Amino acid sequence: MTLSPTDAAKRNAALRALEFVRPGMTIGLGTGSTAAHFVVALGVEVQAGLAVRAVATSIATYNQAASLGIPLLDPNDIDTLDLAVDGADEVDRQHHLIKGGGGALLREKIIAAAAHEFVVIVDAAKMKPQLGSFPLPVEVTPFGAALTTKAVQAVLRGQNLKADTVRMRLAPDGAPFISDGGNYILDCACGLIAAPDAVAGALSAVPGVVEHGLFIAMADIVIVGDETGAAVARVD
Ligand code: 5RP
């Protein structure tokens, strides 16, 4: 099958992430098209005899990994996580991330934070001088979502960001998109984010915000793929 240039870049990044996998590891599996390339590659290794176990960050990834024979654990049944491998929507020069384009940001952040090493795999187009071209996903509880949306907008205004472009994510049938955790997602096209750590802190303080897609200082390794290969950078 011929891959598009973007898909080839995603696959090249995903394949390099295998370098960080060791027998006996428990591995967090991310969500999205780049993470799916990693799951496929890991599945090949497992079928060839590699003994690893995994936890999934979404129902979609769980189903994909299960279909490939990757042994899966409930996150409540593990004490430690050696590695997490996941994609991202944007990566800035400090290696802060925007994630959540696939709506799995809550589970992705729990798994990334728990992992001893968090490996981010992206195609080169995801690398940005500043975060914010991609609308920032913010997961909110359905209860009081309209009030929480106003509070999120106030936070954005307070950070000198655009607030009138906050939109509830919708499913194809026009109903609100529901995350695997049963929550709504606000997509905040707030413009370039000058101070992502300040925005992250302010959003986390809003009652009703379950999680936001700013992953600040979480990446340990960033692998950037292009059509010909991938470059690995360790984050200091
Ligand atoms: C899902 C995510 C994904 O990692 C992100 O959206 C990137 O997706 P893709 O690899 O398909 O470009 O955060 O919630």
108 is catalytic: yes
For residue 35, the ligand 1 atom closest to its alpha carbon is 10
Q: Please give the C-alpha separations between residue 115 and each of 73, 112, 138, 175, 204, in angstroms, as whole numbers.
A: 14, 5, 22, 34, 21
Query: So what's the pLDDT on residue 130?
Result: 98
**Distance between start and end Cα atoms, the chain:** 38
For residue 30, the ligand 1 atom closest to its alpha carbon is 4
pTM more than 0.85: yes
Query: So what's the pLDDT on residue 5?
Result: 96
Please state, in angstroms and rounded to a whole number, the distance separating the CA atoms of residues 129 and 121: 17
Query: So what's the pLDDT on residue 1?
Result: 74
Task: Report which DSSP code applies to 72.
Answer: B
Amino acid identity, position 52: V
CA of 124 to the centre of ligand 1 (A): 14
**Beta-sheet pairing, 81-86 with 115-123:** parallel
**Ligand 1 pocket by Cβ (under 6 Å):** 30-35, 86-89, 99-105, 108
Task: Report which DSSP code applies to 203.
Answer: H
Please state, in angstroms and rounded to a whole number, the distance separating the CA atoms of residues 104 and 30: 9
With the most atoms of ligand 1 within 8 angstroms of its CB, the residue from 33, 61, 180 to mutate is: 33
CA of 46 to the centre of ligand 1 (A): 24
Query: So what's the pLDDT on residue 236?
Result: 82
Query: So what's the pLDDT on residue 152?
Result: 98
Question: Please, are residues 125 and 200 in contact by the beta-carbon 8 Å criterion?
Answer: no
Average pLDDT of adjacent 10-residue blocks, the chain of 236 residues: 94 98 98 98 98 98 98 96 98 98 98 98 98 98 98 98 98 97 98 98 98 98 98 94
